Amino acid sequence: MSVHPRIVRSIPFWILVAGSVAAIGGGTYVLVEKLSHMEATILDNTATGVDVYVGQIWGVFGGILLGAGVVGLALALATAALSSVFPREPRRTAGEQDRHAAVPASEHVISEPVVSERAASEPADSTETTAVSAADTTAPDPATTSTLESPSNDPQQR
């Protein structure tokens, strides 16, 4: 069993981390590049309306992208922290599942009440209970089975 939390092996977690880092990087690039270009053109008096007004929109877009990346990274870190606080039950490997499925039916014990002939003639409070194996395929005693379970061939009881 691995000592790492499950979150370390989670593909969606790493997609969130990578996407958040990419959004932070892309947003920072767009924000800094557009705002520095707009500042340079305004300071040297060569700015046009497109540089000023469209540059502002690109700056806002870069800021939104940067903020979304920061929120995504914060979510990833919070998820990792919660994952370490609430550990999950380890998964069974295929070998362990096969081992549990390979237990033969004869090893399973089913406890059923069995009434002996002696107990059938006595009052109902003195019944014996014994464990019967699931592999036990002997025929039931006709004297102890009810007529609902197996119909009798005796015409008087019909």
Q: pLDDT band at 85, cuts 50/70/90?
A: confident
| Domain ranges (residues) in the chain | 6-85, 106-135
| Tokens (6 digits) for 139 | 């025929």
Instruction: Indicate whether 100 pLDDT > 70.
Output: no
More confident residue, 120 or 59: 59
pLDDT, tens digit, for every residue of 7-45? 778 889 999 999 999 999 999 999 999 999 999 999 999
pLDDT at 97: 62
Left, alpha or beta for 128 (phi > 0: left; psi -120 to 50: alpha)? Answer: beta
The more confidently predicted of residues 67 and 91 is 67
Cα angle 139, 143, 149; round to 5: 65
SS3 103: coil
Q: Which of 47-51, 61-65, 98-102, 146-150 has the highest mean pLDDT?
A: 61-65
The pLDDT of residue 123: 59
